[in-house]
Homo-oligomer: A and B are copies of this chain.
């Protein structure tokens, strides 16, 4: 057994009564959820280090946005100096190296999400893009960014009037052979690049996506360019640029999101990222698809890595939110009989409000652990030039998985943060409860790196293609096996609900098999609507647009629930035997709690008839809530970061709720002082 003594013991206190009832060791669960001993150790090392550093101390009040940006920048520099990436990592495998970077990002994100975004965009996204889109001549930028940390970069894609639809971006880069330069230009404010993290105040360079136009006037579409923005030593912007900060946002105000307009701004020809295409000195456009497999691998990485990172961070936000609400529920009493008050966690309604989200946190972490592993192995093989069977099909399937599960994970986390706040009542509304900040900082994930609704449509496209193959009797393209079951389409769709007891439902096989039926039916239902639309003369785009609600959108959500369940189940099988019974209970809870949201489809599609199905699914959910009650505080302990990182007055691991609240209240700056503006309060003199 690994030595987990680096994970601090939990102080004894009011939570013991529940902790003592758990069937498992919470530290073993923590390790199982992290999936890697070294990475767990690294995470705790980072948290210990930053806890000792005054620069990372929490402020009891929200600082002015400019001050948040300054501190975020200082924290980023400090993290660079700490060199948390072990030296040997630079020679480790791609997969190991990437997981290490992701772990550092997660550890930092749970403390200050702005720092991790700043780092992810300004260093990793930029340098990865240089590797995958650029060539030898861009290595100098790469080294200056990741090795010397002299460049802090940004990523300019979105325009004021165009977000999701990248095709219609209007910023141009026109080649001028007379000076061998590209002339970058923004036609008007609507084409200003915006939402560019790090651009508002700090970055020195940006990775710009603009329409490449050759001297003959041909538009060759969006291409990437490295564009200098500020002098690295004085941070003054260059002439020809209008660069500004976008001002205050709902959250992540440590990030300086900026906008930029280019006025015939010239950059060297060499700044075009020219792996897939180049412009010769005289202005001829040359496309070079010489290494298709490597390009595919690179494309895969660029598309999905950021979204996988978002899902991992979501899992952490979800874990923090449920930890706060569970610990509060176990220590807060309200009502009761004969003047013995009852802890909130004993109420069935309170269990139902929270435990589904706790189970989601476990299922999501086990899903993302296995999925990231699978994904990184494929990229690694492809990057190393090894043959990957069905690479292009795998890329498509991975894209569908990411495009459906990023919405599921980020939306579930957003709902969870809200439910947890409400479950902590008024005290949950205090800033020092931290649920507000967790929520506000998490919120943009449902919009950025692909708006959830737009992403879902892309997953749906892939799913319908597979379904159409299956009904035509052709094999499906599913190297990762997520829709392999479509070969049994005919037998699956004949299934009906025949259970008589909740015991039959609280079984992973029932859940998986019901999801397969549900997917087959949703595919049929969506496909038929789409075909009906087409046969009415609608264009392909119109037909799809008119079959989103209740069809496409539901389909991709059901698919996401299914793949998280399947990957989670596979992963449980790899974990310690002692943990498995509890994990399987939480698996069933999440599965049935999710199926509950799909009951209408089960009835509509004829899987269920009569009252049993709805009643048994819901009774099972409530029974499972009761069954996991004694595990749930220890599950939260395993999900939780350290008290310093969790930063919630309601949920310190000592469980001393009211002592901690009193300390927080009594130590607010000026709490007992007469307010300095008291003269503004007393009634104006009547003289």
Contacts and interface: CB of A to CB of B under 8 A. Distances in A.
Interface stretch (A8-16, A132-140, A231-239, A273-281): A231-239
B61 A678 contact: no
A150 B686 CA distance: 11
Nearest to A598: B600
B443 A429 contact: yes
A239 to B, nearest CB: 13
Given A61-B248, A668-B247, A675 B425 contact: no
A665 B247 contact: yes
B443 A341 contact: no
Nearest to A613: B604
A416 to B, nearest CB: 13
A92 B149 CA distance: 73
A85 to B, nearest CB: 18
Interface in A627-682: 658-659, 661-662, 664-666, 668, 670-672, 674-678, 680-682
Interface stretch (A18-26, A63-71, A282-290, A487-495): A63-71
Contact of A683 (B60, B149, B194, B430): B149
A135 to B, nearest CB: 26
A162 interface: yes
Interface stretch (A94-102, A466-474, A548-556, A567-575): A548-556
A151 to B, nearest CB: 9
Contacts of A681: 73, 152, 201-202, 235
B246 A665 contact: yes
Given A337-B539, A431-B247, A600-B603, A545 B347 contact: yes
Interface residues of A, number: 125
Contacts of A334: 162-165
Interface in A336-360: 337, 339, 341, 347-349, 352
Given A247-B61, A334-B163, A671-B245, A339 B168 contact: yes
A414 to B, nearest CB: 8
A48 interface: no
Interface stretch (A292-300, A319-327, A445-453): A445-453
Interface stretch (A499-507, A578-586, A614-622): A614-622
B259 A675 contact: no
A654 B62 CA distance: 34
Interface in A420-474: 421-422, 425-426, 428-432, 435-436, 440, 443-444, 446-448, 451-453
A481 interface: no
Contact of A672 (B165, B243, B335, B549): B243
Contact of A447 (B335, B425, B618): B425
Contacts of A542: 337
A163 B425 contact: yes
A383 to B, nearest CB: 30
A541 interface: yes
Leading 4 A-B pairs by shortest Cβ distance: A250-B436, A248-B431, A235-B678, A349-B548
23 contacts: A60-B248, A64-B64, A69-B677, A70-B680, A73-B677, A77-B680, A77-B684, A152-B681, A163-B426, A165-B334, A165-B335, A190-B658, A244-B665, A247-B431, A247-B668, A249-B429, A250-B436, A348-B546, A422-B447, A428-B447, A429-B444, A549-B618, A603-B614
Interface of A: 60-62, 64-66, 69-70, 73-74, 77, 148-150, 152, 158, 160-165, 168, 189-190, 194-195, 201-202, 232-237, 242-251, 256, 259, 332-335, 337, 339, 341, 347-349, 352, 414, 418, 421-422, 425-426, 428-432, 435-436, 440, 443-444, 446-448, 451-453, 539, 541-542, 545-546, 548-550, 553, 599-601, 603-606, 608-611, 614-615, 618, 622, 658-659, 661-662, 664-666, 668, 670-672, 674-678, 680-684
Given A62-B65, A603-B603, 11 more contacts: A64-B64, A70-B677, A152-B681, A189-B658, A235-B682, A247-B431, A348-B546, A349-B453, A549-B618, A600-B600, A601-B614
